[in-house]
Structure 1
């Protein structure tokens, strides 16, 4: 992938949600229904939106095991 940052997945297990109901929760620990809500309403712009969108795809496709070695 052009421009893919190899640390992108690492960010999912280190970065905390900066606002909202789950402020301070590590992104990978956000509940799936919250991500589904974002998917319906629209993800935020920028890196956070890309991370949440990626996490949404990981969770709905049962791929959370990909993140376990990074934790």
Structure 2
């Protein structure tokens, strides 16, 4: 299956994080919050920001950063 940016996922969709293509600082911050390659999550919202739930953590991801997080839908 072809990877796609997380901002193309729909509300309620389960996703697998496959690649973080953002800058080093953003990458480190995402990883510290549990958004790592191979992590499973659920899209809670996809409007001006993507709200991603990974475990008990909810991440609000800007539109710009969301374009650099590649996923596989599950």
Q: Establish whether TM, by shorter chain, passes 0.5.
A: no
**Of the two, which has the highest radius of gyration?**
1
Name which structure has the greater RCO, CA cutoff 8 Å, separation 6+: 2
**TM value normalised by structure 2:** 0.27
Higher helix content, 1 or 2: 1
**TM value normalised by structure 1:** 0.28
